[in-house]
Amino acid sequence: MRQFLLATALVAGAVGAFFGGRILLTPAATAPLGDMTGFSAIVADVQAIARGGDLAAAATRVTDLETAWDEAEAVMRPKNPEDWGRVDGATDDALSALRAATPDPAEVDATLVALQAVLADPSQGKTSVGGVLMIGDVAVTDGAGHSLPCEAMLTEVKARQAAVTPEAAAKADDLVAKATERCNADDDKTADSFSAEALAALAG
Protein backbone atom coordinates (compact mmCIF):
# COMPACT_ATOMS: atom_id res chain seq x y z
CA MET A 1 0.00 0.00 0.00
CA ARG A 2 1.40 3.35 -0.97
CA GLN A 3 2.23 5.81 1.72
CA PHE A 4 0.16 8.96 1.43
CA LEU A 5 2.82 11.38 2.63
CA LEU A 6 4.92 12.74 -0.23
CA ALA A 7 7.65 15.33 -0.32
CA THR A 8 6.07 18.78 -0.50
CA ALA A 9 8.12 19.85 -3.48
CA LEU A 10 7.17 16.81 -5.51
CA VAL A 11 3.50 17.16 -4.70
CA ALA A 12 3.52 20.85 -5.54
CA GLY A 13 5.06 20.04 -8.90
CA ALA A 14 2.48 17.38 -9.61
CA VAL A 15 -0.37 19.69 -8.67
CA GLY A 16 0.94 22.42 -10.90
CA ALA A 17 1.40 20.10 -13.83
CA PHE A 18 -2.00 18.44 -13.63
CA PHE A 19 -4.25 21.24 -12.43
CA GLY A 20 -2.65 23.87 -14.60
CA GLY A 21 -4.00 21.99 -17.60
CA ARG A 22 -7.70 22.01 -16.71
CA ILE A 23 -10.18 22.53 -19.51
CA LEU A 24 -13.68 23.97 -19.27
CA LEU A 25 -16.05 22.08 -21.52
CA THR A 26 -19.68 22.39 -22.47
CA PRO A 27 -21.32 18.97 -22.75
CA ALA A 28 -22.91 18.29 -26.11
CA ALA A 29 -26.66 17.67 -26.16
CA THR A 30 -27.30 13.95 -26.19
CA ALA A 31 -30.25 11.68 -25.57
CA PRO A 32 -30.75 10.24 -22.07
CA LEU A 33 -30.13 6.55 -21.61
CA GLY A 34 -33.64 5.88 -20.37
CA ASP A 35 -35.20 4.58 -17.16
CA MET A 36 -32.46 3.49 -14.76
CA THR A 37 -34.67 2.73 -11.75
CA GLY A 38 -34.65 -1.02 -12.32
CA PHE A 39 -30.85 -1.13 -12.26
CA SER A 40 -30.75 1.14 -9.23
CA ALA A 41 -33.15 -1.13 -7.36
CA ILE A 42 -30.90 -4.13 -7.92
CA VAL A 43 -27.87 -2.17 -6.73
CA ALA A 44 -29.80 -1.12 -3.61
CA ASP A 45 -30.44 -4.80 -2.89
CA VAL A 46 -26.78 -5.61 -3.40
CA GLN A 47 -25.77 -2.77 -1.06
CA ALA A 48 -28.14 -3.97 1.66
CA ILE A 49 -26.85 -7.54 1.40
CA ALA A 50 -23.20 -6.45 1.35
CA ARG A 51 -23.62 -4.12 4.31
CA GLY A 52 -25.21 -7.01 6.16
CA GLY A 53 -21.92 -8.84 5.81
CA ASP A 54 -22.87 -11.52 3.26
CA LEU A 55 -20.58 -10.63 0.38
CA ALA A 56 -21.07 -14.01 -1.29
CA ALA A 57 -24.83 -13.42 -1.49
CA ALA A 58 -24.20 -9.89 -2.72
CA ALA A 59 -21.99 -11.27 -5.50
CA THR A 60 -24.79 -13.63 -6.49
CA ARG A 61 -27.38 -10.85 -6.55
CA VAL A 62 -25.16 -8.52 -8.59
CA THR A 63 -25.24 -11.08 -11.41
CA ASP A 64 -28.85 -9.99 -11.97
CA LEU A 65 -27.58 -6.47 -12.60
CA GLU A 66 -24.93 -7.72 -15.01
CA THR A 67 -27.52 -9.69 -16.97
CA ALA A 68 -30.06 -6.84 -17.11
CA TRP A 69 -27.41 -4.31 -18.10
CA ASP A 70 -26.03 -6.50 -20.88
CA GLU A 71 -29.53 -7.12 -22.22
CA ALA A 72 -30.23 -3.38 -22.36
CA GLU A 73 -26.98 -2.52 -24.16
CA ALA A 74 -28.34 -2.72 -27.70
CA VAL A 75 -31.01 -0.13 -26.90
CA MET A 76 -29.17 2.14 -24.46
CA ARG A 77 -25.65 2.37 -25.82
CA PRO A 78 -26.53 4.05 -29.15
CA LYS A 79 -28.51 6.76 -27.32
CA ASN A 80 -25.45 8.12 -25.53
CA PRO A 81 -22.23 6.07 -25.81
CA GLU A 82 -20.30 8.23 -23.33
CA ASP A 83 -22.93 8.06 -20.58
CA TRP A 84 -23.41 4.36 -21.26
CA GLY A 85 -19.67 3.87 -20.92
CA ARG A 86 -19.63 5.59 -17.53
CA VAL A 87 -22.35 3.34 -16.17
CA ASP A 88 -20.70 0.29 -17.74
CA GLY A 89 -17.35 1.18 -16.18
CA ALA A 90 -18.91 1.71 -12.74
CA THR A 91 -20.74 -1.60 -13.10
CA ASP A 92 -17.50 -3.38 -13.99
CA ASP A 93 -15.82 -1.85 -10.92
CA ALA A 94 -18.58 -3.16 -8.65
CA LEU A 95 -18.50 -6.60 -10.25
CA SER A 96 -14.73 -6.80 -9.86
CA ALA A 97 -14.87 -5.74 -6.21
CA LEU A 98 -17.53 -8.31 -5.36
CA ARG A 99 -15.90 -11.11 -7.33
CA ALA A 100 -12.40 -10.63 -5.94
CA ALA A 101 -10.83 -13.70 -4.38
CA THR A 102 -11.11 -11.95 -1.02
CA PRO A 103 -13.57 -9.05 -1.37
CA ASP A 104 -12.73 -5.91 0.60
CA PRO A 105 -15.96 -4.67 2.25
CA ALA A 106 -14.83 -1.03 2.05
CA GLU A 107 -14.01 -1.30 -1.64
CA VAL A 108 -17.28 -3.11 -2.35
CA ASP A 109 -19.21 -0.35 -0.60
CA ALA A 110 -17.29 2.41 -2.39
CA THR A 111 -17.88 0.90 -5.84
CA LEU A 112 -21.58 0.37 -5.16
CA VAL A 113 -21.99 3.95 -3.92
CA ALA A 114 -20.22 5.20 -7.05
CA LEU A 115 -22.45 2.99 -9.21
CA GLN A 116 -25.62 4.32 -7.61
CA ALA A 117 -24.40 7.87 -8.21
CA VAL A 118 -23.75 7.30 -11.89
CA LEU A 119 -27.07 5.49 -12.33
CA ALA A 120 -28.82 8.52 -10.81
CA ASP A 121 -26.98 10.86 -13.18
CA PRO A 122 -25.06 9.07 -15.95
CA SER A 123 -23.52 12.32 -17.20
CA GLN A 124 -22.18 13.15 -13.70
CA GLY A 125 -21.18 16.51 -15.13
CA LYS A 126 -18.45 14.63 -16.98
CA THR A 127 -17.14 15.30 -20.46
CA SER A 128 -14.07 14.13 -22.29
CA VAL A 129 -11.94 15.58 -25.06
CA GLY A 130 -8.73 14.07 -26.31
CA GLY A 131 -8.91 11.39 -23.64
CA VAL A 132 -9.07 13.86 -20.73
CA LEU A 133 -12.01 13.09 -18.43
CA MET A 134 -13.54 16.02 -16.58
CA ILE A 135 -15.79 16.17 -13.54
CA GLY A 136 -17.18 19.68 -13.71
CA ASP A 137 -14.14 21.79 -14.48
CA VAL A 138 -11.67 19.40 -12.85
CA ALA A 139 -9.51 17.08 -14.94
CA VAL A 140 -9.30 13.62 -13.36
CA THR A 141 -7.28 11.91 -16.10
CA ASP A 142 -4.39 12.80 -18.35
CA GLY A 143 -4.62 12.93 -22.14
CA ALA A 144 -4.18 9.16 -22.36
CA GLY A 145 -7.15 8.60 -20.06
CA HIS A 146 -5.06 7.53 -17.06
CA SER A 147 -6.23 8.63 -13.61
CA LEU A 148 -4.23 11.48 -12.11
CA PRO A 149 -2.21 10.72 -8.96
CA CYS A 150 -4.74 10.82 -6.14
CA GLU A 151 -2.14 12.32 -3.79
CA ALA A 152 -1.87 15.40 -5.99
CA MET A 153 -5.63 15.86 -6.13
CA LEU A 154 -5.97 15.48 -2.38
CA THR A 155 -3.25 18.07 -1.88
CA GLU A 156 -5.23 20.46 -4.07
CA VAL A 157 -8.40 19.81 -2.08
CA LYS A 158 -6.67 20.42 1.24
CA ALA A 159 -5.13 23.61 -0.07
CA ARG A 160 -8.62 24.81 -1.02
CA GLN A 161 -9.93 23.84 2.42
CA ALA A 162 -7.20 25.87 4.08
CA ALA A 163 -8.15 28.90 2.02
CA VAL A 164 -11.81 29.02 3.08
CA THR A 165 -13.63 29.39 6.38
CA PRO A 166 -13.81 26.37 8.70
CA GLU A 167 -17.55 26.16 8.04
CA ALA A 168 -17.02 26.05 4.28
CA ALA A 169 -14.11 23.62 4.61
CA ALA A 170 -16.28 21.22 6.61
CA LYS A 171 -18.51 20.73 3.54
CA ALA A 172 -15.77 18.64 1.99
CA ASP A 173 -14.65 16.67 5.06
CA ASP A 174 -16.63 13.52 4.27
CA LEU A 175 -15.54 13.52 0.63
CA VAL A 176 -11.91 14.05 1.65
CA ALA A 177 -12.13 11.11 4.04
CA LYS A 178 -13.52 8.90 1.29
CA ALA A 179 -10.92 10.10 -1.20
CA THR A 180 -8.13 9.45 1.30
CA GLU A 181 -9.38 5.93 2.04
CA ARG A 182 -9.56 5.09 -1.68
CA CYS A 183 -6.17 6.69 -2.33
CA ASN A 184 -4.57 4.61 0.42
CA ALA A 185 -6.11 1.56 -1.25
CA ASP A 186 -4.40 2.51 -4.54
CA ASP A 187 -7.78 3.25 -6.15
CA ASP A 188 -6.89 6.50 -7.90
CA LYS A 189 -9.99 6.49 -10.09
CA THR A 190 -12.50 6.53 -7.24
CA ALA A 191 -10.31 8.76 -5.08
CA ASP A 192 -10.05 11.34 -7.87
CA SER A 193 -13.83 11.31 -8.29
CA PHE A 194 -14.33 12.05 -4.59
CA SER A 195 -11.65 14.78 -4.72
CA ALA A 196 -13.32 16.41 -7.71
CA GLU A 197 -16.64 16.42 -5.85
CA ALA A 198 -14.89 17.96 -2.86
CA LEU A 199 -13.46 20.73 -5.00
CA ALA A 200 -16.95 21.41 -6.36
CA ALA A 201 -18.35 21.54 -2.82
CA LEU A 202 -15.65 24.01 -1.76
CA ALA A 203 -16.32 26.18 -4.81
CA GLY A 204 -20.07 26.25 -4.15
Which of the residue ranges 92-96, 116-120, 129-133 would you say has the lowest mean pLDDT?
129-133
Among 66, 96, 124, residue at a domain's last position: 124
Residue at 85: amino acid letter: G
CA distances from 102 to 40, 60, 178 (A): 25, 15, 21
How far apart are alpha carbons 85 and 76 in whole angstroms?
10
How far apart are alpha carbons 200 and 17 in whole angstroms?
20
Structural domain count, the chain: 2
Asked if the model's pLDDT at residue 12 lies above 70, the reply is no
Question: What is the extent of the structural domain holding 68?
Answer: 29-124
pLDDT digits (tens, 9 = 90+) for 122-131: 876 555 555 6
Judgement on whether residues 82 and 112 belong to the same structural domain of the protein? yes
Judgement on whether residues 118 and 136 belong to the same structural domain of the protein? no
Which of the residue ranges 87-91, 144-148, 170-174 would you say has the lowest mean pLDDT?
144-148
Judgement on whether residues 17 and 103 belong to the same structural domain of the protein? no
Judgement on whether residues 112 and 199 belong to the same structural domain of the protein? no
Judgement on whether residues 16 and 46 belong to the same structural domain of the protein? no
Average pLDDT score over the chain: 81
Other C-beta atoms lying within 10 Å of the C-beta of residue 135? 20
Judgement on whether residues 64 and 149 belong to the same structural domain of the protein? no
